[in-house]
Structure 1
Amino acid sequence: MMHQTIRSGSPTLSDDRDAHLRLDGLTKRYGDSVAVAALDLAVPKGELVALLGPSGCGKTTTLRMVAGLIKPTDGRIVVASQDITQVPTYRRDMGLVFQSYALFPHMTVAKNVAFGLEMRSLPKPEIERRVKEALAMVRLEALAERKPRELSGGQQQRVALARALVIRPSILLLDEPLSNLDAKLRDEMRNEIRDIQQSLGITAVFVTHDQVEALSMCDKVVVMRGGKLEQMGTPVEVYEHPATPFVASFVGRTNRLEGIAQGDGRVAIGSMAVQVPGRPGGKVEIMIRPHRMKLVDVGSGEDAASEGVNRLAGSLTRVTFVGDLLQYHVDVDGTEIVVEAASDHGRGFRKVGAPVAVLWRVEDTMVFGRGA
């Protein structure tokens, strides 16, 4: 489980010189504005890496520089030890799947998929064979003669994926390809894209602002903020051991509490104190995941702190039913804490206004220096 001490906020970088895709100091400026700032990144062959962050963090700009659609201000893009920074898009051997699908409306599904091969002047029998294989890969063989307007959103996304893969690119680039789909289709397409990527062993970079997509699909997650890399690691590393408060709050849900470290492993929060891992000092911010907290009634047999367990008392202000979860909102000295628990056939609701206590294990506490 998590055992966290104060972190400086420095990102974790890969220095793998044998990476299939490597970005060295990649930078993009627009006048005085820096969209991407000296980004270093190494992507091993066959891995799927997510660029994750809020709108405006530089993730799509980074992807478009890799694709050759935007010219970098500084830095290098290296693929298989070859510097391709100045190589035009059509010679980069990359497949790109756009958020908007970008299908040709007047062409059939088969013609859309064949377009890249025809531009490469492949023999017609070879084009037909590879289009058939690509459509089979995305389970659209029966829809080869339909037009894009006759397809659902999920089917259009599969066509866009087949079109990108049919050219057998060295690298697959995906720019928020699932954002236009409903929740159920997103789940299905996440699994399909991951299965196809793994079966082909293709190196892929996936841009998303959705933490679930990044955590569930990818080998590595690169969290970006303000054009800079905040942290890179496996989904488990980024979720369980966030390097900064921003990463902790963006990748997963968190409760944030400010306090003063006492130097003895305790942090004073208002009139109360909690235990934390290590012995931090000064002003700190502690964060706890809602699903790792437990709500109990004040005065019950469970209402007690123990060795390795923290307790904060408060009052219940709201209960939110979200299907598989109940979210309890608790006011603790003017700070709201959210506790999540599995719903039980509509049972488990507590009365708003009731005095309650929130318990959690010390080891589930993340600690950061204030301003980290």
Structure 2
Amino acid sequence: MMHQTVLCGSATVSDGRDVHLRLDGLTKRYGESVAVAALDLAVPKGELVALLGPSGCGKTTTLRMVAGLIKPTNGRIVVGSNDITIMPTYRRDMGLVFQSYALFPHMSVAKNVAFGLEMRSVPKPEIERRVKEALGMVRLEALAERKPRELSGGQQQRVALARALVIRPSILLLDEPLSNLDAKLRDEMRNEIRDIQQSLGITAVFVTHDQVEALSMCDKVVVMQGGKLEQVGTPVDVYEHPASPFVASFVGRTNRLKGTAQGDGSVTIGAMKVLVPGRPGGKVEIMVRPHRMKLVEEGSVEDVAGQEVNRLAGHLKRVTFVGDLLQYSVDVGGAEIVVEAASDHGRGFRIVGTPVAVLWRVEDTMVFGRGA
């Protein structure tokens, strides 16, 4: 179930759940450079939230401030009712999973997982019980005596996750933990991390530049650019109702066309004219997801029943086979539009230069104002 996350104006969210992690005006400056600019965020207990954005957007800096590894320039970090802004890392009751795994190479899997408990002076019988429990959670009981070098990348990542969870942290922080894995392992680990997080009901913050990870794993997505928060919402909200051109283009693939709104629900793009939702004015940028478009033969009367549809004529410029998809690049009045369709055993339009038409529903058009 999706839950609504709000900016930090109160201690609760609209569905009645308590905010567990709150960032109030969190800021980090390095001289004149602003890495994170007055970030406000509230995360309810038990949610998995993604900090999503390109390299240098401030997402890792934010995570490291939450962890206590970087000191904020301004702002507050609150967990429950406790202000932990200046609290040292070892007292924050947080589990960290790093991109590099950071396992001790000379220690066995079991010893790596036990390390945090030993540092907390947990009694040995309790350590043994909790290590066994944590390794069972990530399905590595049989590999407890192996060294990290004897494990695959996916297994090492599971050890790092078990080590973070064994201390039973209040918050789990994950810094691009899947970026070193191949595509198949990333898929498996996405599901495993999500299943474990939900089964434990733990609050987690996940840093990633991969929109698939953010959309498929998380309750909320926090999109960042240039140290600033662009949008916070459920994966569906952020994908279907992006707040800015940056969010629309970063979260999912999209076609972008610049034009001028006519005030009658239409936009002129060079010699072309398309219909858009609402009645925008001035200079605009329209965006349409490639999979929401359809490619048909030129002159075809094929349409979308009961829907207002845009139709632009063009010529097939390029066809790219990507397994489950065919990506068609179409030259439309000098602009390139990409249309995606199921590959259907490789069948489809193939001959470059073929006259075609691109169709899409008016309601699938996103419209944003733009400067001169």
Shift of 1:305: 11
Structure 2 counterparts to residues 247-258 of structure 1, below 5 A = 247-258=247-258
Structure 1 moving runs of 4+ over 4 Å: 303-307
Q: Which residue of 1 aligns with 2:115?
A: 115
The alpha-carbon distance between structure 1 residues 371 and 159, as it changes in their structure 2 partners (threshold 3 A), is farther
- Paired letter, 1:248: A
Give the 3-state SS of the residue equivalent to 1:128 in structure 2.
helix
Would the alpha carbon gap of residues 119 and 307 (structure 1) be closer, same or farther in structure 2, given more than 3 Å must change? closer
Q: Which amino acid counterpart does residue 38 of structure 1 have in structure 2?
A: A
Read off the aligned partner of 2:214 and give its amino acid letter: A
CA distance in 1, matches of 2:126, 2:334: 68
Q: Note the residue ranges of structure 2 that are not aligned, 5 or more in a row.
A: 13-18
Aligned to 1:125: 125
1:104 maps to what in 2? 104
Describe the SS at the equivalent of 1:20: strand
- 1:322 is aligned to 322
Indicate the structure whose relative CO is greater, using CA pairs within 8 Å and at least 6 residues apart. Answer: 1
C-alpha separation between the residues in 2 aligned to 1:348 and 1:165?
49
Contact 1:13 1:231 in 2 (8 A): no
For the residues of structure 1 that align with 2:193 and 2:96, how far apart are their CA atoms? Answer: 13
Deviations 1:15-67 (A, max 9, x none): 44131000000000000000000000000000000000000000000000000
Q: Output the CA distance in 2 between the equivalents of 1:300 and 1:333.
A: 19
**Structure 1 equivalent of residue 7 of structure 2:** 13
Contact in 2 for aligned 1:49/1:205 (Cα 8 Å): yes
Aligned to 2:83: 83
Q: Distance in 2 between matches of 1:305 and 1:332?
A: 24
Matches within 5 A, 1:1-372: 13=7, 15-18=9-12, 19-302=19-302, 308-371=308-371
Q: 1:172 to 1:362 in 2, by over 3 A?
A: same
Q: Distance in 2 between matches of 1:288 and 1:12?
A: 28
What's the TM-score once normalised by structure 2's chain length? 0.95
Contact 2:8 2:23 in 1 (8 A): no
2-structure distance, mates of 1:237, 1:304: 25
SS of the equivalent of 1:353 reads coil
How far has the Cα of 1:304 moved from its partner?
Answer: 9.7
Provide the rounded CA distance (Å) in 1 between the counterparts of 2:307 and 2:229.
Answer: 38
Instruction: Specify the SS of the correspondent of 1:149.
Output: helix
State the identity %.
88
3-state DSSP of counterpart to 2:34: strand
For structure 1, list consecutive stretches of 5 or more residues without a partner in the other structure. Answer: 1-10
TM-score, normalised via structure 1 length: 0.95
Please give the alpha-carbon distance, in whole angstroms, between the structure 1 residues aligned to 2:37 and 2:292: 35
Matches of 1:94 and 1:313, distance apart in 2: 56
CA distance in 2, matches of 1:319, 1:62: 41
Question: Shift of residue 307 of structure 1?
Answer: 5.6
- How many positions carry a matched residue from both structures? 362
- Opposite residue 17 of structure 1, the aligned amino acid is A
Distance in structure 2 (CA, Å) of the matches to 1:174 and 1:371:
38
Residues of 1 paired with 2:250 and 2:39: CA distance?
20
Instruction: Tell me the distance in 1 between the aligned counterparts of 2:118 and 2:307.
Output: 69
Cα distance between partner residues in 2 of 1:13 and 1:345: 47
- How many Å apart are 1:350 and its aligned residue? 2.7
